[in-house]
Structure 1
Amino acid sequence: MTQSSSPALSPSLLEAADLSPEAARSILSGAMTGADDGELFLERAETESLVFDDGRLKTASYDAHEGFGLRVVSDETAGYAHSSVVDAAAIARAAETASLATQGRTGVQAEAPVSTNQQLYAPIDPLASPAFSDKIALLSEIDAWARTRDPRVVQVSVSMAGEHRDIEILRADGRGVRDIRPLVRLNVSVTVEQNGRRESASAGAGGRAGFDAWIAPAHWQAQVDEALRQALVNLEAVDCPAGEMDVVLGAGWPGVLLHEAVGHGFEGDFHRKGSSVFSGMMGKRVAAPGVTVVDDGSIAGRRGSLTVDDEGTPTSRTVLIEDGIMVGLMHDRLSARKLGARATGNARRQSFAHPPMPRMTNTFMEGGKDSRADMIASTRRGLYAANFGGGQVDITNGKFVFQCTEAYLIEDGRITAPVRGATLIGDGATALTNISMIGDDFAFDPGVGVCGKGGQGVPVGIGQPSLKIGGLTVGGTAL
């Protein structure tokens, strides 16, 4: 099985269930009669989350689950059955149920995904180290240190979460794949008060590794300082004016606008169904010259990276837009087969209880040659959006609304007052074509993204350089 050479690996789910790979293959093979594709997906996952709030450990949770999902696909019809019981009888029942979708059909088995020996993260268990008591002590230390940074700090919340996910995929052609997926995140939220006004901000970081990289003092202290900086800026913020104006986006996390407003429109299932705003635009200009957008799940250690996707296809670098021209899509095996393309390793699922679908991994816009200082200097009246909160997007037309958590007025080429209540309103296709400057300061987000689609949430990465976009509608609170 792919990525199974480490002696530290625990027994596979099939081994733990005393089920031989040959027996599982026999069951899957029977279910595949008349099907084009399919797989048996097995998963064992453990998650731990601790929240230190108001000077004490407020919550500590641990969850473990295991199970399997069995899928058969014929043309565009899929049968899927899952269970939290992993044994021969349960898998046989699932095979019988899922195969109802292919009864009476004559399928041609799709070509199997290529094999890989790449390893984008170590097969470690983040829950094992540091010890639980040491994690609590660390959270307490962070809380105490944050409260000493400024007398205006009135509330601190610190959380850390770890995940150890062990997945196995038995392909329709009998090939087995195994992937051990660690994931961690550390987050700090700070609330400050001045003259009766309170403001909060947060910062976080994480990725596919153990906690060691993020619990060193230099790293968590930087998160505290960043959260405190944003909160203090917001104490001075004035109401944001509304209207159409030029907007300069910061580097890194503001790429969430690109992710939501543009990225989903390049997922293969929306194109297979013709429901994307970018349907029928392959080979045509969809963005300003210089704009290159990439999805890459093969970057070592990044939050959105996977050695193999949830169908067993190795992840890859997929260029979606090149110099403003639409050149690619993110595919699972079904959308690739229906659209005459190759699977790009973008099939993802939240857990064994969910069928896979095309999803983003690490999606970003590549850097350009402009400086952010020049973007600001060239703007007579506009908004500098340094950080974003949540947003809403309609995939079919690309229309979006995003809230800014840190933003400033730009007046006569200078950043002036911080503002509150700023929202950005527009549509992804228009925003792409209205990009006039692309920064030389590309950055990834710190490793905190979660993407929702079809009721499923998966970790993702986001990135971009600073950008200047013309003609965005800014919603504000100023009278």
Structure 2
Amino acid sequence: MSALAVTDDLFFNRAGLDRPRVEGLVADALKGADDGELYLEYAQSESLGWDDGKLKAASFDTTQGFGLRAIADEATGYAHASTLSEDAMRRAADTVRAVRSGHGGTVAEPPTGTNRALYIPDNPLHAVEFEAKVKLLAAIDAYARSRDPRVRQVSCSISGEWQAVQILRGDGVRVADLRPLVRLSVSVVVADGDKMEHGSYGGGGRVRYDHYMQPETWQGFVDEALRQALVNLDSVAAPAGEMTVVLGPGWPGILLHEAIGHGLEGDFNRKKTSAFAGLMGQRVASPGVTVVDDGTIEHSRGAITVDDEGTPGQCTTLIEDGILVGYMQDRMNARLMGMRPTGNGRRQSFAHHPMPRMTNTVMRSGSHTPEEIIASVRKGLYAKNFGGGQVDITSGKFVFSASEAYLIEDGKLGAPVKGATLIGNGPDSLTRVAMIGNDSRLDPGIGTCGKDGQGVPVGVGQPTLRLDGLTVGGTAA
């Protein structure tokens, strides 16, 4: 069945809504508005957590509801409810009409649809029995402990969700999407005498559980988490000061996402609160730096067949060969800036209004091998994995902690270090890129992006990068 047919069954047949009446209600509520939509959502989610050798937590949740939005100029009226009833929608319509009182706008052109689907529509929660998921977590625990006698604790979790949405516009256009999402995470604590260290790894995407139930997959996750923990057992204090820093491929793209990506979202630039505001067409990065936001990477965590306004997912070039050429846009900010929407209008759920958000934000590959880049550094730091970080969108200033890092000495990797933090400014760091690797890749599927209290799944990616003159905060005396 098509996504429209499935969601028609969910929202009209089962919920008892009369579609022609709902469409008429939406058309009346948005009359005279510049844009808006009714967003219908049904979602199921589950999570199983394992710790201390046993199942510690298991949850299952079903939610449904709607959000009705009207936009007049840059003002937004939004009302939502968890009750799918015509009465609730009429009350919501009365609320959003206030925003377009006295406004004589014409509802904007609807998004142009495609027939492309970027992921399977199946609900992953129903494909694997609960007992099989518990058995998987137990197997992960047993395997991790068998790998090394220094393993002291194993934590793992498996989670999944299925989201069905239908978007109705005032002009009668309807768009639907069925979105699966799964994730498997593993964490290992090792000890050697009084010293304890931690390692973690995981992956996921818009797929079924099948791939993650395979031993070659989950055992690989355990092996990587254990490797990280054992590396950190041998770590020394990180140096501090200004130095050359090499970033590893994949997940270290989280720095790109946080320190640069948010600053390229349309709302921050329209309001001129981004460090990139007013710089369109200007050089903002070193030559060779090309950054895209690509919602079309099939089955990836950040993939989006259509965004939460009904615009198809796209690959949007943000920076091309160091020149700022684009922003990520939802419909409202694109209209107000005289630009086109880019399929980046996203929301956490029906209880939230959409805003410009990233999907998969990736720096393209360059021409250097990772080995060449490491060999070019006389003294510096190689940051292979990142933990947490903080960013100020307005100034671009960031602080990120490296969860796995090594000294670079005379062009070779040296001792692992602990406690290294990278301190800098996002726009400035783009100009410090000296070498770009040929190994760009997406992270394994673990990212969730927060903005204005909303979280959405995203992907990040980059090649190996050499940045000159970055400030490193360390722990060495």
TM-score by length of 2: 0.98
- What CA distance in whole angstroms lies between the structure 2 residues aligned with 1:411 and 1:195? 29
- The match for 2:273 is 275
Aligned residue identity for 2:74? E
Shift in Å, 1:130: 1.1
Shift in Å, 1:450: 0.3
SS at match of 2:348: coil
Checking the alignment, whether the CA contact within 8 Å between 1:313 and 1:343 is kept in structure 2 is yes
Shift in Å, 1:3: 3.3
Give the one of 431, 434, 437 matched to 1:433.
Answer: 431
- What CA distance in whole angstroms lies between the structure 2 residues aligned with 1:384 and 1:12? 51
- What CA distance in whole angstroms lies between the structure 2 residues aligned with 1:4 and 1:13? 10
- The match for 2:200 is 202
Q: What does 1:288-437 correspond to in 2, within 5 Å?
A: 288-437=286-435
Shift in Å, 1:73: 0.2
- The match for 1:477 is 475
Q: In the alignment, is residue 130 of structure 1 matched against residue 128 of structure 2?
A: yes
Give the one of 90, 93, 102 matched to 1:92.
Answer: 90
Checking the alignment, whether the CA contact within 8 Å between 1:36 and 1:75 is kept in structure 2 is yes
CA offsets, 1:298-350, max 9 Å, x none? 11101001110000000101000000000011000011101111110000000
- What CA distance in whole angstroms lies between the structure 1 residues aligned with 2:317 and 2:171? 29
Checking the alignment, whether the CA contact within 8 Å between 1:436 and 1:468 is kept in structure 2 is yes
CA offsets, 1:165-219, max 9 Å, x none? 1111111211111111000000110010002111011000100011001111000
Checking the alignment, whether the CA contact within 8 Å between 1:384 and 1:410 is kept in structure 2 is yes
Checking the alignment, whether the CA contact within 8 Å between 2:388 and 2:401 is kept in structure 1 is yes
- The match for 1:216 is 214
- What CA distance in whole angstroms lies between the structure 2 residues aligned with 1:58 and 1:256? 30
Checking the alignment, whether the CA contact within 8 Å between 1:164 and 1:180 is kept in structure 2 is yes
Checking the alignment, whether the CA contact within 8 Å between 2:379 and 2:409 is kept in structure 1 is yes
SS at match of 2:4: coil
- The match for 2:81 is 83
SS at match of 1:472: strand
Q: In the alignment, is residue 145 of structure 1 matched against residue 143 of structure 2?
A: yes
Checking the alignment, whether the CA contact within 8 Å between 1:3 and 1:119 is kept in structure 2 is no
Checking the alignment, whether the CA contact within 8 Å between 1:69 and 1:354 is kept in structure 2 is yes
Shift in Å, 1:34: 2.2
Shift in Å, 1:441: 1.1
SS at match of 1:440: coil
Checking the alignment, whether the CA contact within 8 Å between 1:2 and 1:177 is kept in structure 2 is no
Unaligned stretches of 5+ residues in structure 2: none
SS at match of 2:160: strand
- What CA distance in whole angstroms lies between the structure 1 residues aligned with 2:293 and 2:171? 28
- What CA distance in whole angstroms lies between the structure 2 residues aligned with 1:296 and 1:35? 30
- The match for 1:465 is 463
Checking the alignment, whether the CA contact within 8 Å between 2:47 and 2:160 is kept in structure 1 is yes
Shift in Å, 1:20: 2.1
Checking the alignment, whether the CA contact within 8 Å between 2:27 and 2:169 is kept in structure 1 is no
Shift in Å, 1:10: 8.0
- What CA distance in whole angstroms lies between the structure 1 residues aligned with 2:312 and 2:169? 13
- What CA distance in whole angstroms lies between the structure 1 residues aligned with 2:297 and 2:171? 28
Unaligned stretches of 5+ residues in structure 1: none
Shift in Å, 1:33: 2.3
SS at match of 2:220: helix
SS at match of 2:275: coil
CA offsets, 1:342-370, max 9 Å, x none? 11000000000000000000000000111
Give the one of 45, 52, 55 matched to 1:54.
Answer: 52
Shift in Å, 1:2: 7.0
- What CA distance in whole angstroms lies between the structure 1 residues aligned with 2:28 and 2:59? 40
- What CA distance in whole angstroms lies between the structure 1 residues aligned with 2:220 and 2:434? 32
Checking the alignment, whether the CA contact within 8 Å between 1:364 and 1:464 is kept in structure 2 is yes
Aligned residue identity for 1:4? L
SS at match of 1:311: coil
Shift in Å, 1:129: 2.0
Checking the alignment, whether the CA contact within 8 Å between 2:66 and 2:350 is kept in structure 1 is yes
Checking the alignment, whether the CA contact within 8 Å between 2:31 and 2:107 is kept in structure 1 is no
Alpha-carbon RMSD? 1.2
- What CA distance in whole angstroms lies between the structure 2 residues aligned with 1:174 and 1:106? 19
Aligned residue identity for 1:3? A
Shift in Å, 1:158: 1.1
